[in-house]
Amino acid sequence: MSDATAIEQSRIIDHPMHNRAQSLLPLKVSSLSYSIRQRALLHNIDLELTISGITAILGHNGAGKSLLLRLLHGLIAPTSGTVLWHDRAVAELEVRKKQAMVFQKPFVLRRSVAANIDYVLALRHAASRDTRDKLLRDANLLDKAKQSATSLSGGEQQRLAIARALATDPSVIFLDEPTASMDPAATAAIEQQLQSVNRQGIKIILVTHDIAQARRLADDIVFLHQGAIAEHTPAEEFFARAHSTAAQHYLDGQL
């Protein structure tokens, strides 16, 4: 390899938009099914995610969105089929370590805001005041570092939960309805945080019932209907004219 090529390669690798998510992508899901007591809750899921943008998973209540998120994250194992991240099984520790999950109800530890971040950094032997302060600054929580985490508002707790997920240094973050029941200002603050996270090269896979949010954030839409993927479409195209009847009805507010 010439010096110029070596420099170019290291520049690309160092650039945040190119590392992180690229080390886990593409995600390839093949013939995935998930059943409980003979009931197929997800069936014949094939999905390929190649870009490190924001993917939104949409669908009616009970369509299987949360189950799919858990399967992609390896929290539950499929009944049949495979989930591969960059050709590696989701069950591999190295794959799991690069993923973080944020739930609808923010989960914070009963200690100060700063200590919530310190706890995670210490787990991966990366404790550093600078790293912690940067994470809190990005979450717009630095001025509340000493406050007890449980005294934060719901929106602030969710920003802390996202900052704590980032403290694990993930390549992919999964979020299951992260702004449900939040007011427009709290929602906007979290959306800004997610966009900034994504600009750092971290892949985001988001379940939401907020269609306007999906329109604002998503690069591509996975639409689930009755346990199957009805379509996977670039967001602009999806909102201009969804391909599947199920998604068209969903967007029209019909059952």
Give the integer Cα–Cα distance in Å for 178 and 188: 12
Are 139 and 164 contacting, i.e. CB atoms less than 8 angstroms apart? no
* Min CB(107)–Mg ion separation in Å: 16
Q: Is the bond preceding residue 26 a cis peptide, omega within 30 degrees? A: yes
Among 41, 75, 115, 127, binds ligand ATP (CB under 6 A): 41
Residues ≥6 apart with Cβ < 8 Å to 195: 54, 217
Q: Among the candidate windows 54-62, 93-101, 198-206, 211-219, which touches ligand ATP by CB under 6 A?
A: 54-62
Asked if 42 and 64 count as a contact pair (C-beta separation under 8 A), the reply is yes
Surface-to-core class of residue 143, CB atoms within 10 Å of its CB (0-12 exposed, 13-18 middle, 19+ buried): exposed
106 part of the interface to ligand ATP, by CB under 6 A: no
> Residue 62 binds what, of ligand ATP, Mg ion, none (CB under 5 to 8 Å, by partner type)?
ligand ATP
Query: Segment contacting Mg ion (CB under 5 A): 44-52, 66-74, 81-89, 119-127?
Result: 66-74
- Does position 38 interact with ligand ATP (CB under 6 A)? The reply is no
Looking at the Cβ atoms of 141 and 218, the one nearer to ligand ATP is: 218
The binding site for ligand ATP (CB under 6 A) comprises 36, 41, 59, 61-67
The binding site for Mg ion (CB under 5 A) comprises 66
